[in-house]
Each structure stands twice: as C-alpha cells, then as structure tokens.
C-alpha cells in the first residue's frame, strides 16, 4: 500500500488480496491469471522474469523496511544485556562474512535452497540490498512497518513510537565496538 502511494497511485483503486501459502502459490495465482500482479521475492522473482513477466515496481527500493533483525522480550534486554549483545555481535560478524564472501555464500544459498548457481547469485545480490550495515534498527523502517500495520487496521487507536517497539541501545554499542561508521 505504501509503495502504491509513493508511486502516485491510489491504493483504493486496487483490490489487494492475501494468498495463503508460500511464494510459489502466489506465483501460480499470478501465472494462472487469478491475480493481475503479485508481490514476489527472490528466487521466485527471477523465474517470473525468465518467463517474460515484467517487474513493474520494486517495493523494497521504494519503501524502507526493517530487514531481518533480532527480536527479544524487553525484560531479556534489561536482565541479560551482555547475552543480548553477544548475540547481536555474532549476527553482525556473520553478516559481515556473508557480505565479504560472495562465492561461499552463493554456494550455501544454492545448496540450502536447492537453486542453480545463477539463481543463487541473483538471490545473493538482491539480499545485499536488504542488509543493514550497522545492525541498528532504522527509525524510518520501523515507522513504515507501523504504518503498514495501521493500513491493515491494526494499532489505529494510538500513536506507536519507535521506543515502544524497538530498542537500539545495545545494537549501537555493538556497532561502535566493531568500528562501524555510524550515521
């Protein structure tokens, strides 16, 4: 909905439906003509393009959203901050290794997701655009996430602040310790 608005379209001019199942079910609904357009993710996107379908909108490039991340209870952050920091640190190091080791990561993607090398490489490249380099929750992304939930009719009775749903203190500490350039 947010991407439609950003493109200048009125979301009310479209009927948006949820199709249960995974990406392939969404793709099959699109391919069968049941729907006129579908929100697809790699590697399904690449198969659709190879079959001659067009990408008409790159939602990920238009709407900043938090990608990945770590979720825990507030009381865990308060009672075991050193443990949470170690997990954040390990995730950041793993992400850095993924970023530096394309060949190894493409091989892993291909093996785990049962993809050919070209699709795995394309998936890796698409995934790179979603990686947050510092691991610090992005306020604009969190705001868009809240807005997308409100468009669905959830949390419309109140203003949801960043601090109500995200805590960036420990991630910021880890980013500083790892020597990342902070905004």
Residue 67 has pLDDT above 70, yes or no: no
Task: Inform me whether the pLDDT recorded for 47 exceeds 90.
Answer: no
Q: What is the Cα–Cα distance from 19 to 44, expressed in whole angstroms?
A: 15
- Between these two residues, 88 and 152, which has the higher pLDDT value? 88
Residue 77's pLDDT is 93
Is 90 exceeded by the pLDDT of residue 154?
A: no
- If one compares 171 and 18, the residue with the highest pLDDT of the two is 171
CA within 13 Å, CB half, 23: 10
Task: Please report the pLDDT score of residue 150 as a whole number.
Answer: 85
pLDDT of residue 147: 85
Mean pLDDT of 130-135: 84
CB neighbours (10 Å) of residue 182? 10
Confidence of residue 1 (pLDDT cuts 50, 70, 90): confident
pLDDT at 83: 97
pLDDT at 68 (0 to 100): 65
- Position 69 pLDDT exceeds 80: no
145 to each of 18, 23, 77, 95, 99, how far by Cα in Å? 17, 21, 22, 22, 25
- Smallest CA-to-CA distance from 51 within 62, 40, 60, 61 is with 40
Tens digits of per-residue pLDDT, 93-123? 999 999 999 999 999 999 998 889 999 999 9
pTM of the prediction? 0.73
């Amino acid at each position: 909905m947010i991407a439609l608005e950003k493109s200048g379209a009125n979301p009310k001019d479209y009927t948006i439906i949820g199709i249960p199942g995974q990406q392939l079910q969404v793709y099959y609904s699109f391919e069968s003509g049941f729907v006129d357009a579908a929100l697809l993710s790699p590697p399904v996107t690449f198969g659709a393009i190879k079959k001659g379908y067009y990408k008409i909108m790159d939602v990920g490039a238009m709407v900043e959203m938090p990608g990945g991340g770590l979720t825990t209870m507030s009381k865990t952050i308060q009672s075991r901050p050193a443990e949470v920091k170690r997990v954040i640190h390990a995730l950041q190091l793993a992400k850095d290794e993924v970023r530096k080791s394309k060949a190894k990561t493409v091989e892993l993607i291909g093996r785990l997701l049962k993809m050919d090398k070209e699709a795995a490489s394309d998936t890796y490249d698409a995934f790179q655009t979603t990686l947050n380099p510092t691991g610090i929750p992005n306020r604009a992304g969190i705001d868009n996430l809240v807005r997308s939930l409100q468009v669905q009719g959830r949390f419309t009775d109140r203003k949801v602040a960043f601090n109500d749903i995200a805590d960036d203190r420990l991630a910021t500490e880890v980013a500083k310790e790892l020597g990342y350039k902070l905004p």
